[in-house]
Amino acid sequence: MTPLFGTDGIRGEAGKFPLDSPTAEIIGSSLATYLAQHTGRPPSIVIGRDTRESGEWLERSLVAGASGAGAKCFPAGIITTPGVAYLTRSLDSQAGVVISASHNPYHDNGIKIFAPSGQKIADAVERLIETDIHERRLHGSEKSEHPQAEPIESSEDLQKHYLRFLSGEIGAGLDLSGLKVIVDCANGASYKLAPELFRSLGASVVAINASPDGRNINLNCGSLHIESLQAKVVAEDADIGIGFDGDADRSLFVDAHGTFVDGDATLWVLANHLIKHHQLKGKVVVATVMSNIGLEIALRSLNVELVRTDVGDKYVLEELLRRNGSLGGEQSGHIILPSLSLAGDGMITSLCLLRAMAESQRTLAELTTGFQRYPQILMNVRVREKVSFDELPSVKSVVQDVQDKLSTRGRLLLRYSGTEPLARVMIEGENQTMIENYASQIAVQIQEAIGA
């Protein structure tokens, strides 16, 4: 059986299996049936979506399947992914479903399922849903005629409930008066919520890319295309720019000079802020193998350990919970603060960064001082087979030599692509010419040993 769920739910082209209407209906029915069996009562499910044109019919199909299996559905309309995670927990629902493909283009879509804790649902449940999908399709019963459930609470009420949490709890006591903020909403799920949130706390807000038409989500805007936000911050003489992706679970920033502030720099600022409040548990920050060595070195100066995981917020959260940590995230801007939310939330991250600025009376540029991003080189080598690098003596030898030379002032990451016949050589260090030379040495040895 081919797996359908990846590390971030099911994702693919809308209208094609598994993101077609019949399959969405099966997912709703399967989820509701599983929840009823494990709770002994009709479950309640929160459902939200981003601004893609396919979102409405996928939502109708999911609601039809879930309600036909006895679930009470709470459609939240257009809302962020972490908004659904919050509502699921707050409304004591048994699951939350988000219809979104995050930073992907409009023609894609996805389905993510959250447990009441705000975490993504267990892998075992995803496997059960996959089994139902394949079995029902195999027996030709992938579509049934279930009536669409009537929402018990209006979408607007649910959205306001989430905004009250952000402004009243996360933003409690935060006064943004006098601050000019540019918000790039990526024509996505935050297009109404984010400007309203920051204005409610007193900020002067200029919203850009906040006119979704179903097809312009993430189109040359948002966190994947930060250039327009940089230009707008400078042109408007703003204090900060905030860029979201399509479902607003991540955020990236621009300081008043137009300088890009990525997830690594954000972790640095928030780590310092938590340390001042004696809230950085275990003196640990969790990031992924993609975070720059500069973050590791900067945190080391504070006697804070950077713990790395595989790429994916799922793995960051698992390590944070295992260590009882306070702060983790990805270079891409997906930041997790477990005491506030187990789901990465771009608006929570933004509020925490704005609080650090307000309390310290320092600009974002000043707060990022002390973090230096090191030069990086990435080389790809096409290979005919994926042999363990430890089994290639010449590669193993040159890798050890490079690691010795880099010592604690650089980093080497050598891995195979998960989707292509490529070996990836990534090196970070203090000197661009030096690391390019090191990467070339390793690439040559890989090419000679197993090159295609």
Query: Could you tell me the two tokens for 320?
Result: 């944070």
Integer Cα distance of 278 and 159 in angstroms: 33
pLDDT higher than 80, residue 235: yes
Q: Where are the alpha helices (DSSP H) in 384-431?
A: 393-406
CATH number 3.60.15.10 given to 10-155: no
- Those residues with Cβ within 8 angstroms of residue 329's Cβ, 6 or more apart along the chain or in another chain: 263, 266, 267, 286, 287, 313, 316, 335, 336, 344
Closest CA to 234 of 202, 256, 205: 256
Query: Could you tell me the two tokens for 32?
Result: 């509701």
Amino acid at 316: V
Sorted by where each begins, the domain ranges of the chain are 10-155, 171-367, 376-450
Query: Could you tell me the two tokens for 14?
Result: 């809308």
pLDDT in tens, 266-298: 999 999 999 999 999 999 999 999 999 999 999
Q: How far is CA 136 from CA 69, 141, 224, 228, in A?
A: 15, 5, 38, 47
CATH topology of domain 376-450: TATA-Binding Protein (3.30.310)
Across the range 93-111, mean pLDDT stands at 96
pLDDT in tens, 38-84: 999 999 999 999 999 999 999 999 999 999 999 999 999 999 999 99
pLDDT in tens, 113-143: 999 988 889 999 999 999 999 998 877 654 4
Instruction: Judge if 171-367 and 376-450 fold alike in CATH terms.
Output: no
Integer Cα distance of 251 and 277 in angstroms: 23
Integer Cα distance of 49 and 43 in angstroms: 20
Integer Cα distance of 161 and 352 in angstroms: 20
Integer Cα distance of 207 and 184 in angstroms: 6
pLDDT of residue 156: 87
pLDDT higher than 80, residue 419: no
Furthest CA-CA distance within the chain:
66
Integer Cα distance of 443 and 319 in angstroms: 32
Integer Cα distance of 3 and 230 in angstroms: 40
Strand partners, 308: 287
- Those residues with Cβ within 8 angstroms of residue 278's Cβ, 6 or more apart along the chain or in another chain: none
Q: How far is CA 308 from CA 170, 288, 320, 339, in A?
A: 27, 5, 11, 20
Instruction: Give burial (CB, 10 Å; 0-12/13-18/19+) of 110.
Output: buried
Integer Cα distance of 258 and 442 in angstroms: 36
What is the chain's mean pLDDT, rounded? 94
Q: What is the pTM of this model?
A: 0.91
Q: How far is CA 251 from CA 113, 214, 244, 265, 360, in A?
A: 21, 21, 5, 12, 21
Integer Cα distance of 452 and 450 in angstroms: 7
Instruction: For residue 44, report the phi and psi dihedrals to the nearest 5 degrees.
Output: -115, 140
- 171-367 CATH choice from 3.40.120.10, 3.40.1350.10, 3.40.50.360, 3.30.70.2190: 3.40.120.10
pLDDT higher than 70, residue 147: no
The rounded radius of gyration (Å) of the Cα atoms in the chain is 23
Q: Band the pLDDT of 154: cuts 50, 70, 90.
A: low
Helix (H, G, I), strand (E, B) or coil at 403: helix
Give rounded-to-5 percent helix, strand, coil for the chain: 40, 20, 40
Active site positions, annotated: 102
